[in-house]
Structure 1
Amino acid sequence: MFSTKVNSLYTKLTMTEKKIADYLIINGGDVDGVTSYELAERLGIGQATVVRFSKKLGYRMFGEMIDDAKNSVGESSSEIQESDTASDILEKLGKRTCDIIQAIRQSNDAECFVRAAKLIDGAKNIVCYGYTTSNLFASYLSELLIEIGKGALCENNSILTKRRVFQLDPQRDVVVIVSKSGEKSEPVGIAEYARSRGVPVIAISNAGKNPLVEASDVHLKVLEISDRSSPAASMGTDAGLVYVVETLAACVFQCNQKLYRRQYGNNIVAAFSERK
């Protein structure tokens, strides 16, 4: 998981942070039990910098990062090679997907999901938006919310989305934006527009700081692997997006199970009636 987290944030790390990351990846097998003071001494940097780095990667305690770095030795073996069979790929992608989901679980504070779920639970209208491929996940969230009776919709056009946002009630509605990087101008522009109108914004975006996070009220973290050297390099990351989207929908459902269970049942009955 350590390597997975580093890969997702590497381009956003400072030179000193990259120094820490590179050292731990190369020497992961030789850091068992090392303290933040000892690691700082080895690298010739401040102890506070080392601790901040562990927090930036989503670890609650410095020791968790060291344990993860130690256990991540040999993760490069999960890279897909030309000689790999379908069975090898199943095994490698399965492990990578599990590592990504676990890393996301570790990076997110459950309270953020509670806050986001309460905003959606109390909203009459929910506008979801995702830029390019992220729109698939925004659309999926919208469908999950519609199934339990929420007034959700998803647009893939930024202009149409802003028109939808213009019609929202700041006291009763909410905007959810999915953006893997959190840096594209379209989703950031929609978030800033919503905030200017007083409409709460929930961002589902990369774990590091980015413009979208700064323009949102709640941030649910995912991982975006910046390595694009091959088609297989970032495979498995989308599973993390599905995990976060489904967790958010489940938390909304948990806000009022009796109501949402009943509305879900009514929607299923209506759907089958239409087919007949």
Structure 2
Amino acid sequence: MDKGPLHDALIAGFEALSPQLQAAARYVVDNPRDVALLSMREQARRAELQPATMTRLAKHLGYDGYDAIRTLYKDAMRDRLAGFAGKAGAQAQHQKLLGDGALAAEILASMREQIAHLAAPHALPRLAAAATHLAQARTVYCLGLRASHPVAWHLHYILSLSGGKSVLLDGIAGTGADPIAQAEKDDALLVVSIMPYTRTSIEIAEYARSQGVPVIAVTDSEVSPLALMADASVLVQTDSPSFFHSLVPAFAVAEVLGALIAGHGGERTLAALKRSDAWLDAVQAHLPASTVRTGS
């Protein structure tokens, strides 16, 4: 949620507020998702204010209390997540106005900005911390459900090629999560989930956490259910001009983590990759380079 429902009103009336109310208003303007998801006391703590200040801001705006503002923001978030069909309708109108090429350019520009965000100075330490946790784990359990599944599978595949012991939590007959029962404190759970968060992913992460298994999250907000419980988290942006949220940044994270973890393995990784190459050659998994046309 880029802008909350009170964004414009708070900006318009900002100068008339007392310094403390200005600080509260600034928090609400800058953190609309937090307003929807966090308790009033937690919001006040993050804003370095007393909870009573948040209540005073609500009453200044004509509400009985701050819970009314939280409800307003929750409803706005729920409307934003009204489903793919509703978003598709908005996209269709936008696409009709702009044309296919222009909409494609918008989507690609959005992806470019999201990748650039991952390379920002404040984001790189998160990637490094997640890679360190995973590289030190005896076994990495990879979990991603619904749209997040291919991201988790991609990292699992990279780790498998490079000799890392990786278990993908995916299986038939409802047994997909069963291997996590064998996880211990020197293992790690890598879980991918973005809003709207998949219930089962959160429940499996909570179970792992309760057993002392480190949880490494790829998610979309500091206040997502995963980020709040994770030992390390990498945050990705997902908004898109498309009706479907963007998974490009999450795939980029999987590739970066795979490379960094492999780098931690040193000679062991090199030996594993040689074995992988030998196996792929033995079963002729790929077309020989000599048969591939390079164009004229």
- TM bracket, shorter-chain basis: 0.5 to 0.7
Distance change (3 Å), C-alpha of 1:94 and 1:196: same
Question: Shift in Å at residue 84 of structure 1?
Answer: 4.4
Q: Do residues 188 (structure 1) and 197 (structure 2) align?
A: no
CA contact (8 A) 1:129 1:161 kept: no
CA contact (8 A) 1:100 1:223 kept: yes
Q: Percent identity?
A: 19
1:71: which partner in 2? Answer: none
Counterpart Cα distance in 1 of 2:196 and 2:215: 13
Counterpart Cα distance in 2 of 1:49 and 1:267: 56
Of stretches 87-96 and 115-124 in structure 1, the one that deviates more from structure 2 is 87-96
Distance change (3 Å), C-alpha of 1:192 and 1:52: same
CA contact (8 A) 2:191 2:205 kept: yes
Aligned to 1:150, the other structure's residue is in SS state: coil
2:263: which partner in 1? Answer: 254
CA contact (8 A) 1:126 1:175 kept: yes
Distance change (3 Å), C-alpha of 1:102 and 1:43: farther
Counterpart Cα distance in 1 of 2:216 and 2:176: 15
Post-superposition CA distance 1:85-126 (Å, at most 9, x none): 553344222212112222344495322222221222122211
1:73: which partner in 2? Answer: none
Distance change (3 Å), C-alpha of 1:18 and 1:218: farther
1:46: which partner in 2? Answer: 22
1:233: which partner in 2? Answer: 243
Distance change (3 Å), C-alpha of 1:129 and 1:43: farther
1:135: which partner in 2? Answer: 149
Counterpart Cα distance in 2 of 1:253 and 1:42: 56
Structure 2 length-normalised TM: 0.64
Aligned to 2:163, the other structure's residue is in SS state: coil
Structure 2: gaps (5+ residues): 34-92, 286-296
2:218: which partner in 1? Answer: 204
- Count of matched residue pairs: 226
Question: Shift in Å at residue 200 of structure 1?
Answer: 0.6
Considering Cα pairs closer than 8 Å and 6+ residues apart, tell me whether 1 or 2 has the greater RCO: 1
Question: Shift in Å at residue 187 of structure 1?
Answer: 0.8
Of stretches 190-199 and 207-216 in structure 1, the one that deviates more from structure 2 is 207-216
Distance change (3 Å), C-alpha of 1:41 and 1:258: farther
2:46: which partner in 1? Answer: none
1:75: which partner in 2? Answer: none
Q: Do residues 96 (structure 1) and 110 (structure 2) align?
A: yes
Counterpart Cα distance in 1 of 2:214 and 2:17: 42
1:269: which partner in 2? Answer: 278
Distance change (3 Å), C-alpha of 1:219 and 1:52: farther
Of stretches 265-274 and 98-107 in structure 1, the one that deviates more from structure 2 is 98-107
Aligned to 1:81, the other structure's residue is in SS state: helix
Question: Shift in Å at residue 148 of structure 1?
Answer: 1.0
For residues 102-181 of structure 1, what are the structure 2 equivalents within 5 Å? 102-106=116-120, 109-156=123-170, 160-171=175-186, 173-181=187-195
> Over alpha carbons, which structure has the higher Rg?
2
1:218: which partner in 2? Answer: 232
1:3: which partner in 2? Answer: none
Distance change (3 Å), C-alpha of 1:185 and 1:253: same
Question: Shift in Å at residue 54 of structure 1?
Answer: 4.8
CA contact (8 A) 1:176 1:202 kept: yes
Aligned to 1:203, the other structure's residue is in SS state: strand
Aligned to 2:183, the other structure's residue is in SS state: coil
Counterpart Cα distance in 1 of 2:151 and 2:142: 9
CA contact (8 A) 2:169 2:177 kept: no
Aligned to 2:254, the other structure's residue is in SS state: helix
Distance change (3 Å), C-alpha of 1:204 and 1:252: same
Aligned to 2:96, the other structure's residue is in SS state: coil
Question: Shift in Å at residue 182 of structure 1?
Answer: 6.7
Distance change (3 Å), C-alpha of 1:219 and 1:148: same
CA contact (8 A) 2:152 2:192 kept: yes
CA contact (8 A) 1:127 1:152 kept: yes
Amino acid of the residue matched to residue 232 of structure 1? S
Question: Shift in Å at residue 175 of structure 1?
Answer: 0.7
Question: Shift in Å at residue 258 of structure 1?
Answer: 3.9
Distance change (3 Å), C-alpha of 1:83 and 1:55: closer
Structure 1 length-normalised TM: 0.68
Question: Shift in Å at residue 155 of structure 1?
Answer: 2.4
Of stretches 259-268 and 157-166 in structure 1, the one that deviates more from structure 2 is 157-166
